[in-house]
Amino acid sequence: MIEWWQAALLALLQGLTEFLPISSSAHLLLPSMLLGWPDQGLVFDVAVHVGTLTAVSLYFWRDLWVLAEGGWDALRAGQMNEHSREILYLALATVPAVIVGFALNDVMDSLRSLPVIASTTILFALLLAYADRRVGTVPSDNVGNWRVALMIGCAQAIAPIPGTSRSGITITAGLLLGLSRHAAARFSFLLSIPIILGAALLKVSDLLGADTAVDLPLVLLGTATAAVSAYGCIALFLRLIEAVGMLPFVIYRLLLGAVLCLLWWT
């Protein structure tokens, strides 16, 4: 069982890295490797997922409300509008990840090793750098058609490969497909809501079949810490990316990849 301060640090790491394009799996691997920390357990995994889901839902509550209203108006009118289209784009982009998640879940878990995470951390850093350099002078402020949504969804489907970063690969795809940095990040974050919810529900189903003790204070600490750190991270990231671009995150990923390679080789 992890200590309370370990839980706080792991939840902080989860909240900060869930939405930045820097790979949460790479960061959560380091405490166990470098410090020999025990596995946080399934209950704690659910707690931090609930925290990050709460954060992204609260940050985008206005967008979600507008989408819900627009979807309801489209149903009543029997005619599509821009909000109902975005709902369909988000649903379509979720499908590839769901298919891959169910079909290849065990395969993805078997890839959770230091060589894989080090390699993907560096590889997708370089791809993000390339995508960011290709941002046009007049990028699109929204996902314009179902093909773009589906391609972003296909990119998200490879996110379970450890070290990839779900936000990183979806933002990269969005940039390559002509979206602005803000539009790519916004779509990526909205797209995370069904994915995080689905992952949390799967973990809850696993938890129901296990005889696991629940340390409620530890669970609440993990949920709250992940939620606060993730909310602040989303807010800061969206404010900064138009000014600084993705280069700081590319450099960080390359440095992290170098550290992981050193750990691998030593």
- Which helix (H) or strand (E) segment holds residue 128: the answer is helix 114-133
pLDDT in the model for residue 180: 92
CA distances from 42 to 10, 46, 199 (A): 13, 6, 12
pLDDT in the model for residue 224: 96
Cβ atoms 184, 171 nearer than 8 A: yes
| Predicted structure pTM score | 0.93
In angstroms, the CA 31 to CA 38 distance is: 9
pLDDT in the model for residue 204: 77
The sign one gets for the Cα dihedral 228, 210, 156, 62 is: negative
pLDDT in the model for residue 200: 84
Cβ atoms 54, 193 nearer than 8 A: no
Cβ atoms 142, 136 nearer than 8 A: no
In angstroms, the CA 216 to CA 242 distance is: 40
SS3 50: helix
Per-residue pLDDT of the chain (266 residues; tens, 9 = 90+): 678 888 899 899 999 999 999 988 778 777 766 777 766 667 788 889 899 999 999 999 999 999 999 999 999 988 899 999 999 999 999 999 999 887 776 777 677 788 899 999 999 999 999 999 988 666 788 898 999 999 999 999 999 888 899 999 999 999 999 999 999 999 999 999 999 998 888 777 776 766 666 678 888 999 999 999 999 999 999 999 988 999 999 999 999 999 999 988 87
Q: Across-strand partners of 179?
A: 140
